Amino acid sequence: MTADDHLPLAVLAGDGIGPEVVPVAVEVAAAALEPHGIVVDRVDLPFGGHAIASHGAPVPQTTLDGLAETPLWVVGPHDSASYPDQLRTPPPGALLRTRFDLFANLRPARALPGVPATTPSMDVLVVRENSEGLYADRNMAVGAGEFMPTPDVAMSIGVVTRAATERIAVEAFEAARRRRGHVTIVHKANVLRLTTGLFRDVCLDVARRYPDVRVSQQHVDAMAALLVRSPDAIDVIVAENLFGDILSDLAGELSGSLGSAPSLNASSARAMAQAVHGAAPDIAGRGIANPVGMIGSVAMLLRWHGDRTGEHRVTAAADAIDAAVAHASANGARTADLGGAATTADVGAAVRAALSEVG
Ligand code: NAD
C-alpha cells in the first residue's frame, strides 16, 4: 500500500446533531473508498462546545494546526448560539472560512427519488461567496463589523471587492459549463447600488470570458419567488454571502429537506465538507437526524479532491456515494424530516449496503 492509497480526513464532529451525522458520513466515505484500495486515515480534532470544555475555545490552536496539515475536512455544525457570550463571535464556521480563505461555498439542491419535495424538478447549484459580503462578522481585520453607537442604534458593515467577486464568478461559470450552461447573477443593485451593484458588474465582466454560458440576473427577492415558481429555469446561482446563504436554505428545503442539503467550502488548496443545516438542538441526541446532507457533502469533498488530483478512484467513490444515497432513498431509507421512520444509523447502513448494488 502506497501513500496514494491513504486518504487523510480531518474530522470535526461539532455540536448538536454533528456527532450523530458526521461519523455516519465518514463511515460511508470509508466504505466507498475501500473497494478502490483506499483507506481513510481519520484525524479527529476538537471543535465546538466540547472544545470549549476541554480547551477553552470552540476552535483551539491544536485544531487550527491539524487543519493546516490536512487538506480535506469533514466538519459538523456548531451551535454558537449556546456558547458563552464572549466565545460567540466569530462563529466557528466563519473563523475556519476566513482563516483558510475557503472563499467558495457550493450548495447543490436536487430532489431525491421517492422524497416528497415541494419542487421535485429542482436541480440548482448555489455558488455562494464566502469571504465578505453582507455578513459583517468576517469583514474587519481589527474590530467588529457590527457596532452600536447608542443602545438604540445598530449598524453593520457590508464589503464587496472586485477580487473576491471575480474568483467566485469564475467558480460559478466553470460549474455551469459542467452542468446546463446557465448562470443567474443574484443582487439587489436597485437598493444596495454600490456593493451588490459591483458584485453584479464584476460577474457580468467574467461572463464575457464564457460566451458559451447563458447569463441572467435577478434581484434577490425576485429570485426567492422564482425558486418556488419556476425552479426549472435555474441552473447555477451566483450570490454574495448572505443572499447565497438564504437562497440555498430555501432551495434545500424546496427540494426535500434542509437535512438533505449538501455543501462544500473550498479554497484552491483545501476543502471542507459541511452540510447546509445547523446543529438542530431541537432533535439532537435522539438518533433521528437526517445524515444525507452530511453524506452528500462528503461526496462533494471526494469529487473536489479527485478532480483536482486526477485520482479517478476517489471521483468514482464520490459518484458511488451519490448513487447509493439515491438508491437508499428510493427504497425508503428516510428519516422523519422526509416523512420516513428510519434512524440516522439506519440511513447510514442503507447507504453503505447500496454501495455494493450501484458499484
Ligand atoms: P438548524 O439548521 O440547526 O435547524 C433548523 C430546523 O431544521 C430545525 O427544526 C432542525 O431540527 C431541522 N434540521 C436541521 N438539520 C436537520 C437534519 N440533519 N435532520 C433533520 N432535521 C434537521 O438551524 P437553527 O435552528 O437556526 O440553528 C441552530 C444552531 O445551529 C444555532 O446555534 C446556529 O448558529 C447553528 N448553525 C450552525 C451552522 C453551521 O455550523 N454550519 C449553520 C446554521 C446554523
Read off the pLDDT of residues 209-220 as tens digits, 9 standing for 90 and up: 999 999 999 999
In this predicted structure, the answer to whether residue 26 has a pLDDT above a threshold of 90 is yes
| Distance from C-alpha of 46 to C-alpha of 126, rounded to nearest angstrom | 30
- Read off the pLDDT of each residue in 253-270 and give the average, rounded to a whole number: 93
pLDDT at 138: 78
Q: How far is the CA of 34 from the centre of ligand 1 (A)?
A: 31
pLDDT at 316: 97
pLDDT tens digits, residue range 50-66?
999 999 999 999 999 99
Which of 95, 72, 74, 68 has its CA nearest to residue 83? 95
Best probe residue, ligand 1, of 59, 258, 274, 335 (max atoms within 8 Å of C-beta): 258
State the average pLDDT for the chain.
95
In this predicted structure, the answer to whether residue 80 has a pLDDT above a threshold of 80 is yes
Q: How far is the CA of 277 from the centre of ligand 1 (A)?
A: 5
* pTM assigned to the model: 0.93
| Distance from C-alpha of 198 to C-alpha of 134, rounded to nearest angstrom | 13
pLDDT at 90: 82
pLDDT at 77: 97
Using an 8 Å Cβ cutoff, are 180 and 233 in contact?
no
Strand order in the sheet with 72-75: 39-44, 6-12, 72-75, 271-273, 264-266, 104-110, 123-129, 236-239, 182-187, 214-219
CB of residue 279 inside a 6 A radius of ligand 1:
yes
The protein residue whose alpha carbon is closest to atom 31 in ligand 1 is 79
Catalytic residue numbers read 135, 188, 221, 245, 249
Q: How far is the CA of 303 from the centre of ligand 1 (A)?
A: 25
- Strands (E) in the chain, as ranges, are 6-12, 39-44, 72-75, 104-110, 123-129, 146-150, 153-156, 182-187, 214-219, 236-239, 264-266, 271-273
pLDDT tens digits, residue range 114-127?
888 888 889 999 99
CB of residue 107 inside a 6 A radius of ligand 1:
no
Q: How many CB atoms lie within 10 A of CB 284?
A: 18
Which of 156, 149, 160, 47 has its CA nearest to residue 93? 47
Q: How many CB atoms lie within 10 A of CB 174?
A: 14
| Residue 141 pLDDT grade (very low, low, confident, very high; cuts 50, 70, 90) | confident
Using an 8 Å Cβ cutoff, are 22 and 74 in contact?
yes
Q: In this structure, what C-alpha cell is assigned to residue 314?
A: 476517489
Using an 8 Å Cβ cutoff, are 327 and 358 in contact?
yes
In this predicted structure, the answer to whether residue 178 has a pLDDT above a threshold of 80 is yes
CB of residue 220 inside a 6 A radius of ligand 1:
no
Q: Which domains does the chain have, with CATH numbers?
A: 1-107+258-359 (3.40.718.10), 118-254 (3.40.718.10)
Question: Long-range contacts made by residues 142-148, C-beta under 8 angstroms, separation at least 24?
Answer: 144/89
- Read off the pLDDT of each residue in 273-289 and give the average, rounded to a whole number: 96
In this predicted structure, the answer to whether residue 315 has a pLDDT above a threshold of 90 is yes
In this predicted structure, the answer to whether residue 282 has a pLDDT above a threshold of 90 is yes
Q: How far is the CA of 275 from the centre of ligand 1 (A)?
A: 10
Sign of CA dihedral 75, 81, 85, 90: positive
CB of residue 292 inside a 6 A radius of ligand 1:
no
The protein residue whose alpha carbon is closest to atom 23 in ligand 1 is 278
pLDDT at 33: 98
pLDDT at 347: 98
pLDDT at 131: 92
CB of residue 289 inside a 6 A radius of ligand 1:
yes
| Residue 78 pLDDT grade (very low, low, confident, very high; cuts 50, 70, 90) | very high
In this predicted structure, the answer to whether residue 157 has a pLDDT above a threshold of 70 is yes
SS3 content of the chain, % helix, strand, coil (to 5): 45, 20, 35
Q: What percent of the chain has pLDDT over 90?
A: 86
Using an 8 Å Cβ cutoff, are 225 and 114 in contact?
no
pLDDT at 1: 60
- Read off the pLDDT of each residue in 31-39 and give the average, rounded to a whole number: 97
pLDDT at 144: 82
Sign of CA dihedral 320, 124, 246, 240: positive
In sequence order, the β-bridge partners of residue 7 are 40
